[in-house]
Amino acid sequence: MGPEAMPLIAVIVLALAGGRAFSAVLRRRAASLVDASVSLAPADAAVRSDAPESWLRRWLMLAGYRSQQAPATFLLTQSLAVAVGAAMSWAITRSGLVQWMMEAVTLIPGSVGEMFAAVAGLAPWIVLLLAGSLPVLRVRSQRRQRVAAIEEDLPLALDLFATLAEAGLGFDSALTRIVESQPGRRPLSEEFTFYQREMLAGVPRGQALRQLARRIDVTSVTVFVSALVQAEQIGSSLAETLRHQADDMRDRRRMRALLLAQALPVKLVFPLIVCFLPGIFVATLGPALHQMIKIADTILRNYR
């Protein structure tokens, strides 16, 4: 497939993505009209979060994008990124930059130049792929930052939970104190606040806790919620359960730090090989290679 077909392919991809975004907007508009006509109560709205949802909405929800227009906005952004990537690819192809790069790398002796020439010929497609993947990479990065923030705040929250519970406070009162002590808009504090709103709306505690674990979808939070639900079902001590969870979280955090420290030498092998070995080879073998090249050049000239 030649570079001339790239604009046509980009237009087709943009049309498909735009049609998908338009249909998503229509579905969202219809859903909002239905919700307005039914006029759900707060408790029904909280229970409605258990309804089946698309994988795109759940993926964006786990990254923190929870507005009704989030899927349509993502699809429109993806379409715009693909269009920009297609325009950049077309500009690179029409400017002759690809041909110049292929001619430049073919001057490298051996088969290395041919390999780099093939890579240079794929430059427009690489630009299109990178530009089109920017929205996806942004959502993935936001999800990683959210998980890191939750895992950072959870051990301290569990210690505070255990301390307040041992002091005689109930779970809801301790949760209120923890939410008030959280600095700024942290993801874990926002999820706890949403849990409190569900409780005020009349959702049972077990169901609200399960929805909390489902919204966050982090292993540590899931284990914590499972322990709370089990303690509530069997009637065990909440303070003892929270203390066990806090100690277990502290041990897991220590083990994770030890694993990261043990993996550090293995991760340093590749940078050391890439950065230091070429310099060592040039410093030690460079003069010998230079002498060998001079001798080979003299022999070839005498032979000719």
In a domain, 26, yes or no: yes
Sequence-ordered list of residues with C-beta below 8 angstroms from that of 250, at least 6 positions apart, any chain:
155, 159
Q: How confident is the model at residue 7 (pLDDT cuts 50, 70, 90)?
A: very low
Q: How confident is the model at residue 74 (pLDDT cuts 50, 70, 90)?
A: very high
pLDDT of amino acid 68: 87
110 and 159 share one domain? no
In a domain, 143, yes or no: no
In a domain, 300, yes or no: no
In a domain, 290, yes or no: no
188 and 112 share one domain? no
CATH code of 205's domain: 1.20.81.30
- CA angle 162/166/170 to nearest 5° reads 85
Nearest to 10, CA basis, from 94, 74, 80, 82: 82
pLDDT digits (tens, 9 = 90+) for 32-72: 433 333 233 333 333 344 444 688 898 999 998 988 888 99
SS (H, E, C) the chain: CCHHHHHHHHHHHHHHHHHHHHHHHHHHHHHHHHHHHHCCCHHHHHHHHHCCCCHHHHHHHHCCCCCCCHHHHHHHHHHHHHHHHHHHHHHHHHHCHHHHHHHHHCCCCCCHHHHHHHHHHCHHHHHHHHHHCHHHHHHHHHHHHHHHHHHHHHHHHHHHHHHHHHCCCCHHHHHHHHHHHCCCCCHHHHHHHHHHHHHHCCCCHHHHHHHHHHHHCCHHHHHHHHHHHHHHHHCCCHHHHHHHHHHHHHHHHHHHHHHHHHHHHHHHHHHHHHHCHHHHHHHHHHHHHHHHHHHHHHHHHHHC
Question: What is the rounded distance in angstroms from the CA atom of residue 206 to the CA atom of residue 208?
Answer: 5
In a domain, 277, yes or no: no
220 and 163 share one domain? yes
Looking at 106, 132, 158, the residue that finishes a domain is: 132
CB atoms inside a 10 Å sphere around CB 47 = 18
CB atoms inside a 10 Å sphere around CB 193 = 15
126 and 156 share one domain? no
pLDDT of amino acid 137: 93
Looking at 64, 98, 132, the residue that finishes a domain is: 132
State how many domains the chain has: 2
Query: Looking at the predicted structure, is the pLDDT value of residue 138 above 90?
Result: yes
Q: Identify the weakest region by mean pLDDT among 23-27, 77-81, 180-184, 243-247.
A: 23-27
127 and 155 share one domain? no
217 and 121 share one domain? no
Q: How confident is the model at residue 135 (pLDDT cuts 50, 70, 90)?
A: very high
pLDDT of amino acid 145: 93
pLDDT digits (tens, 9 = 90+) for 231-281: 888 887 888 888 888 888 888 888 888 988 888 888 888 888 888 877 787
Q: How confident is the model at residue 112 (pLDDT cuts 50, 70, 90)?
A: low
Average pLDDT over all residues of the chain: 78
Average pLDDT over residues 84-108: 82
**In the numeric block, which tokens belong to residue 72?**
């349509």
Q: How confident is the model at residue 304 (pLDDT cuts 50, 70, 90)?
A: low
Place of tokens 């939410």: 179
Nearest to 59, CA basis, from 147, 134, 139, 135: 139
Q: Nearest 5°: phi and psi at 68?
A: -65, -25
Q: Which residue has the higher pLDDT, 292 or 108?
A: 292
In a domain, 286, yes or no: no
In a domain, 34, yes or no: yes
Please give the share of the chain, as a percent, with pLDDT higher than 90. Answer: 13
In a domain, 106, yes or no: yes
The answer to whether residues 211 and 50 touch, using CB atoms and an 8 Å cutoff, is yes
120 and 13 share one domain? yes
9 and 128 share one domain? yes
pLDDT digits (tens, 9 = 90+) for 148-199: 999 888 888 888 888 888 888 888 888 888 888 876 678 888 899 899 999 9
167 and 113 share one domain? no
pLDDT of amino acid 80: 94
Query: Looking at the predicted structure, is the pLDDT value of residue 222 above 70?
Result: yes
203 and 112 share one domain? no
pLDDT of amino acid 48: 41
48 and 107 share one domain? yes
pLDDT of amino acid 146: 92
Looking at 243, 258, 273, the residue that finishes a domain is: 258
Question: What is the rounded distance in angstroms from the CA atom of residue 157 to the CA atom of residue 169?
Answer: 15
Structural domain harbouring 57 = 3-132
127 and 196 share one domain? no
pLDDT of amino acid 103: 78
Q: How confident is the model at residue 84 (pLDDT cuts 50, 70, 90)?
A: very high
